[in-house]
Structure 1
Amino acid sequence: MHTARTIPELRDILGQHHRPAFVPTMGNLHDGHLALLREAKPLGDVTVASIFVNRLQFLPHEDFDTYPRTWDSDCEKLRSVGCDVLFAPDEKALYPEPQTCKVHPDPTLADILEGHFRPGFFVGVCTVVMKLFNCVQPRFAVFGMKDYQQLLMIRHMVRQFALPIEVVGGKTRRAPDGLALSSRNGYLGETERAEAVQLSKTLQAMAQAVREGERDLAAIESRAMRVLRARGWHPDYLVLRRRSDLQPPAPGDALVALGAARLGATRLIDNLEIDPPPGAQP
């Protein structure tokens, strides 16, 4: 595996390739990341991963300084799945001057759900992803579906800027008990880890209510919020939205259940796609 620390080094390594498949990460890798690398491997003529903890997407009170950095372990894991190139710039390499030119995504998608509770988050995400795309110039880019709103945001940005990139969504990887794999799971204590699966179970209950024909989506959402609060969680949102754009759905729309909630000091997110109930008209 080649490691590039600067943009010129990366471009020199990739100069002979024409179809890079790219997986951007912030490091602290787990099996979910490795699944994305495995999905990327057959798509292009070279597989590229990046590790960069992007300050622009952290709010002032969030965990930028304490976000886990696990360099040696990350490199070993990337080698184990056949990653060809690792791009690991420091802040000075990627942002040699203050990043005053930023991507401001469509507020219809960027200012709801995650964007509502983390103002400016998607400006930071889209700006760093655009910059990484310009560095790597991938033909394919693989993003995890666990960050569902982020995946839609990146696809929208690629369409809007006519970037020659196919954005591939990798399915959410889960622990045996159903907890979505996340770098932030490492913050959970033993008792919290046992409780954490309740987020996915709550989304499953929401999905089941839809499948059984319950039509009052607001009631389903309110019930889910009460359930988690009663267990000591502090949910930001538990909602049922249209898959295509995360807007309130119309009858027959394919839905996704999305949730974000704090358990102790750890904020977890998850989602579950739901097919229309039998007999629904599109």
Structure 2
Amino acid sequence: MDWTTDISAATARIAGHVLRTPVLTSSALTGTPVAFKLEHLQHTGSFKARGAFNTLLSSPVPAAGVAAASGGNHGAAVAYAARALGHAATIFVPELAGPAKIALIERTGATLHVMPGEYANALNAAQEFAAQTGALQIHAYDAAATVAGQGSCFAEWDDQGLDADTVLIAVGGGGLISGALAWWQGRRRVIAIESEGTPTLHAALGAGAPTDVAVSGIAANALGARRIGDICFGLASARGTPTLLVSDAAISDAQRRLWQAHRLLVEPAGATALAALTSGAYQPAAGEKVAVLLCGGNIAPDPLG
């Protein structure tokens, strides 16, 4: 598969539909310069709008509209993109999505189903709905169009002058880091950061194949896929991608540091990659230039209600 071509095409396709999110470089959090991309400022508060728009703009959408399962952020992005392009959307989320993300989806006008249990239950329901109605299902992370859309984030960051040897990226189902690995093709070192309660890629690489894991913790409503996507596993295996696990306490501390230093509010998933630096789980070599993607800002409870 020619990922470079697909991501370049996705970047052009979704231009005008997504935001070109800002970047900054700061020494305030670690004492040495770190480059940040503020993707939590994207439409609906996460990078997910990129994959949603790329899928809808590159696929025929049936009269039944689109369907998606989500821990919250993907569902909001699909619902937003569908509304912008004039399509009906039916979204399935688990209860653990939480009231802030549920309210965000409701504001788009999509039909919303809140399912008991975790993300896997919402995914099963979305698959059944799509099979029954003919709706286009947009997978949150394990689909080529989704990955190419997420890859546009890294093409854009390069275009903004990213100067980094190593990029730390939070992992849930793997769509975002797949976009990074597919775009950079080894030109930058990409490190996967997961919470201790959502170690899907870490477990898969250890087992030699995607495997189910139990999910828990403060980042589970965004990083809580039970199994890593096949696309991510293939790309990460081929590149020998390192994985690091960080604690819930480290994630909360990273959230606080971002707020105190820069008045940036991110959800736990959005602070997970930074937590590897601020906790010492990742210690850069002397002179190593490090970048961190802030992937989501749908903090719960919503600080302004």
Q: Report the TM-score, using the length of structure 1 for normalisation.
A: 0.32
More helix by share: 2
More strand by share: 1
For the pair shown, which has the larger CA radius of gyration, 1 or 2?
1
